[in-house]
Amino acid sequence: MSAFALANFGGYDRPTLAQNESAFPPSPKAIAAGQDAIARSHLYPDPDWTALREAIAQAYGVERKLILCGAGSMDLISCTIAAFAGPGDEVLGTAYAYNFAASAAARADAAYIKAAEQDFAVSVDSILAAVTPATRIVFVCNPGNPTGTRIRNAELLRLRAALRGDVLLVIDQAYGEFDDQDARPIFALVGRGDTVVLRTLSKAYGLAGARVGWGLFPPAVAAEVRKMQNSNQVTTSSLAMAVAAVEDQAYVRETVARTAGIRDRFAHDLRAAGYDVPESRTNFVLIRFPDAAAAEAAESALRDADLIVRSLGGYGLTDCLRATVGPQEMMDRALRIMTDRRGG
């Protein structure tokens, strides 16, 4: 295998159930704006993302000057960790949190520590118990990936209040649009100067292929993160798509509602067939099997039907699979296979 080989989930030109992509294409307005912008590809993109920051500020009721954008939220996670953690430092995540933060910490030569989760959800008490004098960053995904669960805002506010002021709290809300909690109390934490909140257009907005993420950063933190970013990472056409997508809030609300409808029916029917499925606040579900062999057998039965789901051995969850909410027809086929296997 080439040193550059990446995990290949067999999609890219068609949907799978493995990557938490949207089941729906982006807003038609975003597609049209992207097509127009392609003709301006001889020009460099705006390195300050001015129009996108304005659109986000309007749609989310946040201050434009706190917004940084990047080539997906991965870019912002990497650059934040690189800016604030190095050799001898600890980045503290949680047991099942999106493991890209662990690889970003490894690249920064910082240690990555995992606090235990309870019932597949972030536990503020176990995070606080794992903090040491070397902790520089606490990284929390809410709602979580791969669990799909969420903790209440009040718990995150309690976490922030209990952490030392020199510990940067990074709250990754990649699935925030699927959570019905009021985002404002979390956005307001950024005003303290020690908290970052990250979002992406890869999930609810259906723009995973455009690679656009954004976040709210206190100005002093933003200055350090920008030193780590390459400029012009978000292309002209991606910026144009992102602006139009964020301006089309009616479309994203409808997409989120349709996704949640497919998700909740799928989860309900799986539970009725005897599977353990925690309540999801995202565009995927976690399915827990009696043991690893049962999870593996289901994964391969789904694969035989060209339905690719995610195995979670990398998180130590060998008895679980994660299934993204895909187009209804794929979910119907997945459900039939899962129901036929009940008890098997």
- 75-104 footprint of ligand PMP as x/- string (CB under 6 A): -----------------------x------
Q: Is 202 in the site for ligand PMP (CB under 6 A)?
A: yes
Q: Output 202 or 339, the one with its CB closest to ligand PMP.
A: 202
Rounded Cα distance between 95 and 99, Å, is 9
Q: Output 135 or 147, the one with its CB closest to ligand PMP.
A: 147
Q: Output 305 or 323, the one with its CB closest to ligand PMP.
A: 323
Q: Among all residues, whose Cβ is closest to ligand PMP?
A: 72
The CB-of-340 to ligand PMP minimum distance in angstroms stands at 29
Query: Is 204 strand, coil or helix?
Result: coil
- Within 10 angstroms of residue 344's Cβ, the number of other Cβ atoms is 8
| Structural contact between residues 282 and 257, judged by C-beta atoms closer than 8 angstroms | no
Q: What phi and psi values does residue 28 have, to the nearest 5 degrees? A: -55, -30
What is the DSSP secondary-structure string of 135-159? EEEEEEESS-TTT-----HHHHHHH
Among 181, 159, 183, residue whose Cα is nearest residue 170: 159
Q: What SS3 string covers 19-72?
A: CCCCCCCCCHHHHHHHHHHHCCCCCCCCCCCHHHHHHHHHHHCCCHHHEEEECH
Which two tokens mark 123? 């536990």
Rounded Cα distance between 253 and 38, Å, is 27
Residue carrying structure tokens 């497919």? 262
Q: Output 204 or 334, the one with its CB closest to ligand PMP.
A: 204
Q: Is 117 in the site for ligand PMP (CB under 6 A)?
A: no
Which two tokens mark 314? 């990398």
Q: Output 45 or 146, the one with its CB closest to ligand PMP.
A: 146
Task: Indicate the burial class of 337 (C-beta count within 10 angstroms; 0-12, 13-18, 19 or more).
Answer: middle
**Among the residue ranges 34-42, 69-77, 159-167, 307-315, the one whose residues contact ligand PMP (CB under 6 A):** 69-77
Rounded Cα distance between 213 and 201, Å, is 6
Query: Is 206 strand, coil or helix?
Result: coil
Q: Output 45 or 72, the one with its CB closest to ligand PMP.
A: 72
The CB-of-81 to ligand PMP minimum distance in angstroms stands at 13
Q: Are strands 135-141 and 168-172 parallel, antiparallel or unpaired?
A: parallel
Indicate which single residue of 23, 69, 74, 287 sits in contact with ligand PMP (rule: CB under 6 A): 74
- 17-56 footprint of ligand PMP as x/- string (CB under 6 A): ---x------------------------------------
Q: Output 121 or 341, the one with its CB closest to ligand PMP.
A: 121
- 131-150 footprint of ligand PMP as x/- string (CB under 6 A): ----------x---x-----
Near ligand PMP in 168-197, by CB under 6 A: 172, 174
**Among the residue ranges 5-13, 30-38, 43-51, 70-78, the one whose residues contact ligand PMP (CB under 6 A):** 70-78
Contacts of 10 (CB under 8 A, 6+ apart): 16, 18, 308
Q: Is 302 in the site for ligand PMP (CB under 6 A)?
A: no
The CB-of-74 to ligand PMP minimum distance in angstroms stands at 3
**Chain contacts with ligand PMP (rule: CB under 6 A):** 20, 72-74, 98, 141, 145, 172, 174, 200, 202, 208, 213
